[in-house]
Structure 1
Amino acid sequence: MAATTPDVDVLIVGSGPAGAAFARTIGDAVPSATILMVEVGPAIPGVRGEHTQNMTESDRVAAQLLTQGPHAGIERATALADIAEGIDPSLEFRQTVLPGLFFVDPRPVHGCGEVGLPAASMASGVGGMGIYWAASCPRPRQSERIACIPGDQLDAALDRAEQLLGVSRVEGGDIGVPGALRAAMAAEFDGPGLSPVGFMPSAVRWEGDTLRFSGTGVILGEIERTVPGFELRSETLARRVVVEDGVAIGAEIEDRRTGAVTLVRARHVVVCADGLRTPQVLFASGVRPPALGHHLNEHFQMVSFVQLNDEFDPAAFPPDERGALGYVLIPFSDARPMQGGVMALANSPYKLSMGDDPATQRLGLVAWYGAKDVLHRDAVEFSETETDFYGMPKMSIRYGRTERDLETIEQMRRNSLRSAELIGRLIEEPTLAAGGSSLHYQGTVRMGAVDDGLSVCDPYSRVWGVENLYVGGNGVIPTATAANPTLTTVALAWRSAIRLAAALG
């Protein structure tokens, strides 16, 4: 077969944090590279990849309406009119779909003994979830870390990910109400073999008097200026990766504005669609290793509101302006397989409507996230005959809980009560959020040390059995985690992109 000149060096499917990390890293290493990034959703007005927390209220609402996929342009109340049984739209911030997102399946069907992920959601727009994420960047600890990557290499990748995301850490002693909250949590939850209580590293920065959140655009940086061959093409669907003789040679893409379908040839293809759509693209491409879609997991989530005691009244403290969110972190440890967080909502940099009632100024947030028992049977599966809104293989999710999971959930409930009682009075009992609410779907294209049928890609995110095909995103993470995964996801993408860039030479 005669060789065909590729249209681009690298084709990246998806414009979220992982895809951005691939593009930025390859562009920095090989500025002469031609890189095409395709995004199924629309461009968002304003700065490319800007975090919505940095926008005005009107611009933020406009961005949210654009990224709702099949519900684009529809007000949230209407979009939530037909949702899964048992999901209450009045609790949408904590338990259902967030503004700007749409359900994977508004009326999922669960198998016998399964609980499913009824609130599983996604966004479609330039920047992906990187324009909505909470900016929390804890490092994975102990069994959360990935065993098939040498420890020093993983740490170096995490270092670089912190640089790409612009992560800030709280340094110094306990100051203000966050410091008082940290001290209270440390007295209760520190102990032998447990990671000490501290503050959540956060991808935020001060610009004058304004705290800015790192969106996907921060990762991409000035790539359009430094890499002339970079292009970000919105409203473009990657229908399938084209594989010839075991080699990925490009992808079939569709312009969703015109319906035109073309083949873009590439030396390397990187699929970073998200933890659910990345395996969907591989399935549609006929790339179906045994582990594809399996080992699906997200951490359990339990969030409670607290009326803070007098000693933690934010009005009695000066604001803590050290470049972070003031979010107290109770880290994951193997001896306590969950992550806790406590935060005073008054003076929070998050744009929350607190109202004028003095009682609302004393609200705090207590959140616990538990690691899931990872099993092969938990999976996102795809139909051979039915399609979704985008014409891709329709998804269905199989998901259950083990006895170990039930024990973790009960321990989360007890820890929620313990942490809340230390600082105030619970407004309501801790409740497990609907499955899928965390938006952190892992394991579906998981990496592994060897091609033994239990993983989809190698430690450099190269898909087993297909040359020049890479995957990225939360789905690559093979471990059970309670920690927010974005930092790890960007670290893995950077590490893989360094190897890919070397191959371009």
Structure 2
Amino acid sequence: MTDNENVDVLIIGSGPAGSTYARTIGDAAPDARILMVEVGPSIPGIRGNHTMNMTPDEKDRAERLTQGPDAGIEHPLALADIARGLDPSLEFRQKNIPGLFFNDPEPALDDGEVGLPAASMASGVGGMGIHWGISTPRPHQSERIPFIPEGEMDAALDRAEELLKVTQVRVPAGGLSEAIHDAVAAEFDGPGLTPTGYMPGARQEVDGRQVFSGTGVILGDLETTAPGFELRPNTLARRVIVEDGAAVGAELENRLTGERYEVRAEKVIVCADGLRTPQVLYASGIRPDALGRHLNEHFQVTTFGFVNDAYTPDKFDVSETNLGYVLVPFSDARPMQGGVIPLMNSQYAVGVDDEALAARFMAIAWYGAKDIQNRDRVEFSDDETDFYGMPKMTIHYSHTDKDRATIEEMKRNARRSGELLGTLAAEPEFAAGGSSLHYQGTVRMGAVDDGDSVCDQYLQVWGVKNLYVGGNGVIPTSTAANPTLTTVALAWRAATKITSVLTARTSGETS
């Protein structure tokens, strides 16, 4: 490392979006010099491995390393004794999840605001991609981005599924999940509604064991196939350097020594997450009107229950491969996504002492689309700083009348789901704001530069050449679907645009 380091591409953030950029560019231009920096530490073991693939001791160590200001602190799961290993958002009741840390758990709220007190982040190689719940539904109807041609978006989603090694659930006839699916479909399907199906997941079966896709699955063998690729941990991006209207590099800081230095780059890509990406841009003096605004996350309502006699496992083949997360997808006429997850004999450890009850256990989750408002935003201070010395965040967030109606309908549908199949163990509970861990809209993409977006459809920041963004924050639509698949698809689409320039340059063509 020198004081005058130069690379072709600098990527800030090592999560799914940043890794998609790196993999796509590295595959197309293996001689390119690609530097990826991550503010958090390396995790022992396989680079970017999902924590669910680790032993309990390895998992605990990895989680404690990625907790940023809380590193080393034990964060017990609120519902770990019931279903350890579920999508983290299902286990969360405004208690910090292992591997994550709060942005601001006790926000000062203005009148009418509800805030996002549970908003959390992770800092470590692989980002949130080593902790995520692996759900990868495709967006439907108005969840899709209207100014991206449908065929192009489908091709990008196809590639995202390949990168994440998504498995589509295939349930043999006569299985328990099929019986649950048919009951749910009969209750919730109708004209104009997206049909009930199964939740796809980023996982594969290896030697009879379910292996979850962490960020390392996206990166693959990039260090070998693209010798110019480097992943540098414990490195904070303090600001993007802009000269004559173009990004030319970044000021970086070694978190272990405090040393600050500059790296010059032909392309700069910021994929820090839905809250820290706009923070980096703000710290760089890049402050379009839409920066940090249109902040939204999908609502969630969860509960647990026990299936009735019609769905007892002794009547069905309940081998692990037959179990599926039954999915009620988003529809414009019903702006929410629902799911029923039979947990008996699954890869998740269900800690219910009564074996008969454990064999009937199910989780129920409904996610609702937010009514997007310009005023819902994350603001950054010019005077105060956070744990990393970056501009301190303040989140302003409220619910509209439409939001409140959506939340009540989600509760009714969660109750309907449980009572349709059996008995609820608890009333459906609305999770604390921020607990979905999916923060969108803060660097949203747009069809034109009209002040209502931060970047174009290929994720290049308006008005700043050679500067790109990525992550959930670029999604401009209101979604109930888990956003990771869409985020990876959009990063891949943007990266292919960048590679066309890099490969043209290296072949001696003009770009």
For 2:93 and 2:9, the matched residues in 1 are separated by: 38
- Residue in 1 aligned with 2:98? 99
Given that 1:101 and 1:123 are in contact with CA atoms closer than 8 Å, whether structure 2 keeps it comes out as yes
Given that 1:247 and 1:467 are in contact with CA atoms closer than 8 Å, whether structure 2 keeps it comes out as yes
For 1:413 and 1:359, the matched residues in 2 are separated by: 24
For 1:248 and 1:5, the matched residues in 2 are separated by: 16
- Residue in 1 aligned with 2:113? 114
For 2:213 and 2:422, the matched residues in 1 are separated by: 32
Given that 1:354 and 1:361 are in contact with CA atoms closer than 8 Å, whether structure 2 keeps it comes out as no
- Provide closer, same or farther for how the CA distance between residues 6 and 449 of structure 1 changes in structure 2, counting only shifts above 3 A: farther
Correspondence 1:18 to 2:17: yes
State the one-letter code of the partner of 2:120: S
Given that 1:70 and 1:102 are in contact with CA atoms closer than 8 Å, whether structure 2 keeps it comes out as yes
Q: CA deviation at 1:208?
A: 1.1
Alignment counterpart, residue 471 of structure 1, candidates 466, 469, 472:
469
Given that 1:22 and 1:493 are in contact with CA atoms closer than 8 Å, whether structure 2 keeps it comes out as yes
Correspondence 1:484 to 2:472: no
For 2:454 and 2:215, the matched residues in 1 are separated by: 26
- Residue in 1 aligned with 2:499? 501
Q: CA deviation at 1:179?
A: 1.4
Correspondence 1:180 to 2:179: yes
The total of aligned residue pairs comes to 490
Which secondary structure does the structure 2 equivalent of 1:382 belong to? strand
Q: CA deviation at 1:95?
A: 4.2
Correspondence 1:362 to 2:357: no
For 1:96 and 1:118, the matched residues in 2 are separated by: 10
Q: CA deviation at 1:110?
A: 1.1
- Residue in 2 aligned with 1:290? 289
- Residue in 1 aligned with 2:342? 344
Which secondary structure does the structure 2 equivalent of 1:487 belong to? helix
Q: CA deviation at 1:353?
A: 3.7
- Residue in 1 aligned with 2:375? 377
Correspondence 1:131 to 2:133: no
Instruction: Indicate the larger mover: 63-72 or 172-181.
Output: 172-181
State the one-letter code of the partner of 2:36: M
State the one-letter code of the partner of 2:387: F
- Residue in 2 aligned with 1:87? none
State the one-letter code of the partner of 2:48: G
Correspondence 1:450 to 2:427: no
- Residue in 1 aligned with 2:403? 405
Query: Which digits, 9 at most, give the CA deviation of each residue in 1:45-71, with x for residues without a partner?
Result: 110000111111111111111111101
Q: CA deviation at 1:372?
A: 0.2
For 2:38 and 2:393, the matched residues in 1 are separated by: 19
Given that 1:39 and 1:235 are in contact with CA atoms closer than 8 Å, whether structure 2 keeps it comes out as yes
State the one-letter code of the partner of 2:442: T
Identity %: 65
- The correspondence of residues 200-215 of structure 1 with structure 2, limited to 5 A, is 200-215=199-214
Q: Where does structure 2 lack aligned partners over 5 or more consecutive residues?
A: 79-89, 504-511
State the one-letter code of the partner of 1:272: C
Which secondary structure does the structure 1 equivalent of 2:337 belong to? strand
Q: CA deviation at 1:354?
A: 4.1
Correspondence 1:64 to 2:63: yes
For 1:42 and 1:202, the matched residues in 2 are separated by: 27
For 1:223 and 1:352, the matched residues in 2 are separated by: 37
- Provide closer, same or farther for how the CA distance between residues 181 and 280 of structure 1 changes in structure 2, counting only shifts above 3 A: same
For 1:501 and 1:171, the matched residues in 2 are separated by: 36
Query: Which digits, 9 at most, give the CA deviation of each residue in 1:141-197, with x for residues without a partner?
Result: 000000121111111100100110111112355442211211110110111111111
Correspondence 1:196 to 2:195: yes
Instruction: Indicate the larger mover: 421-430 or 490-499.
Output: 421-430
- The correspondence of residues 138-287 of structure 1 with structure 2, limited to 5 A, is 138-171=137-170, 173-287=172-286
- Provide closer, same or farther for how the CA distance between residues 191 and 373 of structure 1 changes in structure 2, counting only shifts above 3 A: same
For 1:175 and 1:359, the matched residues in 2 are separated by: 22
Which secondary structure does the structure 2 equivalent of 1:111 belong to? coil
For 1:208 and 1:449, the matched residues in 2 are separated by: 46
- Provide closer, same or farther for how the CA distance between residues 145 and 296 of structure 1 changes in structure 2, counting only shifts above 3 A: same
For 1:314 and 1:389, the matched residues in 2 are separated by: 50
For 1:247 and 1:175, the matched residues in 2 are separated by: 60
- Residue in 2 aligned with 1:82? none
Q: CA deviation at 1:362?
A: 2.1
Given that 1:96 and 1:437 are in contact with CA atoms closer than 8 Å, whether structure 2 keeps it comes out as no
- Provide closer, same or farther for how the CA distance between residues 325 and 476 of structure 1 changes in structure 2, counting only shifts above 3 A: farther
- Residue in 1 aligned with 2:84? none
Which secondary structure does the structure 1 equivalent of 2:218 belong to? helix
Correspondence 1:300 to 2:279: no
Query: Which digits, 9 at most, give the CA deviation of each residue in 1:98-127, with x for residues without a partner?
Result: 211110012211111000001000111111
Given that 1:178 and 1:320 are in contact with CA atoms closer than 8 Å, whether structure 2 keeps it comes out as no
- Residue in 2 aligned with 1:83? none
Given that 2:76 and 2:98 are in contact with CA atoms closer than 8 Å, whether structure 1 keeps it comes out as no
For 1:151 and 1:460, the matched residues in 2 are separated by: 15
For 1:255 and 1:221, the matched residues in 2 are separated by: 26
State the one-letter code of the partner of 1:501: T
State the one-letter code of the partner of 1:379: R
- Residue in 2 aligned with 1:417? 415
- The correspondence of residues 15-54 of structure 1 with structure 2, limited to 5 A, is 15-54=14-53
Which secondary structure does the structure 2 equivalent of 1:7 belong to? strand
- Provide closer, same or farther for how the CA distance between residues 361 and 321 of structure 1 changes in structure 2, counting only shifts above 3 A: closer
Q: CA deviation at 1:427?
A: 1.1
Q: TM-score, structure 2 length as denominator?
A: 0.93
Given that 1:174 and 1:183 are in contact with CA atoms closer than 8 Å, whether structure 2 keeps it comes out as no
Given that 1:49 and 1:127 are in contact with CA atoms closer than 8 Å, whether structure 2 keeps it comes out as yes
Given that 1:320 and 1:326 are in contact with CA atoms closer than 8 Å, whether structure 2 keeps it comes out as no
Q: TM-score, structure 1 length as denominator?
A: 0.94
